[in-house]
Amino acid sequence: MANMRSKINEIYALEQLSGGDSAVHRRHPLVKLVSAFVYIVLVVSFGRTEFLRLAPFVFYPVVLMALSETPWRIVLGRMALALPFVIVAGASNIIFDRATAFTIGGIAVSFGTVSFFSILYRTFLCVTAVLLLVAVTPFAQLTDQLRRMHVPDVFVTLFEMIYRYIGVLLDEASTMYTAYMLRSTEHRGLQMAHMGSFVGQLLIRSYDRAERVYAAMKCRGYGGAARRGARRKLQPADYAYLALTCLPFILLRLVDAAAVFERLF
């Protein structure tokens, strides 16, 4: 029960940070979205073995985290949720691509291993960039901006609804699980024999609760159609943010900094 409650808190922990007032928080949502998008595209565009060239890209999340005063524990904690999927996906590279890429102290390192760590590192960079975007931009501003960028309304609304109702579902599950455990003689968790009725009840209760939440939304003017907030003008500081977060990384993508450095010295 406490675990489930803490999961609900975890889900919304990052969003609570978005109400901050740092220089990054104050930037226009458009530049934050574009900056994160450009960064992710650049990270993904590298070849699977260009591990060293990707190294400087770690500065983006590190600097943003410092400037926005985002606690790294929260970001890394949520980042860890993606790891199992990436490890499973990346492990196949180690198995199938065994050609030697280089040797370290007589030990051959395969292209598959390099590729595995490259996938791991790139996932870390991309997921962290998205988590930071959420941590420094209020959810309503984010979805408003997505609509302004002509992302289909149905996708944005779906995204909003899933986001809102996941808390409702977990909350109902948590309450039911507590009631179940308090009357369970063995205290060993949910038994298979009760799983069907538990899940069925959870569905019905969540549906009922979702109806009440929707009624409350309707009472405050929600009609299914998205309403946009007032258009916010881009300030010089927004352009500066965009330039500072995009240009260095575009340059690092176009120019092999290590090779240039080698040639110079």
Q: What are phi and psi of 151, to 5 degrees?
A: -70, 130
Residue 8 neighbours by CB distance under 10 Å = 17
For residue 106, what are its two tokens? Answer: 């007589």
Stretch that binds another protein, among 56-64, 74-82, 151-159, 218-226 (CB under 8 A): 218-226
- Asked if residue 263 binds another protein (CB under 8 A), the reply is no
Q: Which is nearer to another protein, 12 or 239 (CB)?
A: 12
CA nearest 74: which of 132, 141, 142? 132
Furthest CA-CA distance within the chain: 74
The 8-class DSSP code of residue 150 comes to T
Evaluate whether 95 touches 112 at the Cβ level (below 8 Å).
yes
For residue 74, what are its two tokens? Answer: 């929260």
Q: Which is nearer to another protein, 194 or 212 (CB)?
A: 212
For another protein, the binding residues in 103-132 under the rule CB under 8 A are none
Stretch that binds another protein, among 16-24, 102-110, 123-131, 256-264 (CB under 8 A): 16-24
Q: Which residue of 222, 243, 258, 259 would you call a contact of another protein, by CB under 8 A? A: 222
Evaluate whether 18 touches 137 at the Cβ level (below 8 Å).
yes
Within 8 A by CB and 6+ apart from 147, the residues are: 153, 156, 226, 228
Q: Which is nearer to another protein, 97 or 160 (CB)?
A: 160
- Asked if residue 216 binds another protein (CB under 8 A), the reply is yes
User: Closest approach of Cβ 16 to another protein, in Å?
Assistant: 5
Q: Which is nearer to another protein, 51 or 139 (CB)?
A: 139
Evaluate whether 147 touches 227 at the Cβ level (below 8 Å).
no
- Asked if residue 82 binds another protein (CB under 8 A), the reply is no
For another protein, the binding residues in 130-159 under the rule CB under 8 A are 138-140
Helix axes 111-136, 72-79, angle to 10 degrees: 130
Stretch that binds another protein, among 110-118, 124-132, 149-157, 163-171 (CB under 8 A): 163-171
- Asked if residue 218 binds another protein (CB under 8 A), the reply is yes
Stretch that binds another protein, among 14-22, 34-42, 46-54, 246-254 (CB under 8 A): 14-22
Instruction: Give the separation between CA 122 and CA 140, rounded to whole angstroms.
Output: 28
Query: Residue 23 carries which side chain, given as an amino acid letter?
Result: A
List interacting residues with another protein (CB under 8 A): 5, 8-9, 12-13, 15-16, 18-20, 138-140, 164, 167-168, 171, 209, 212-213, 215-223, 227-230, 232
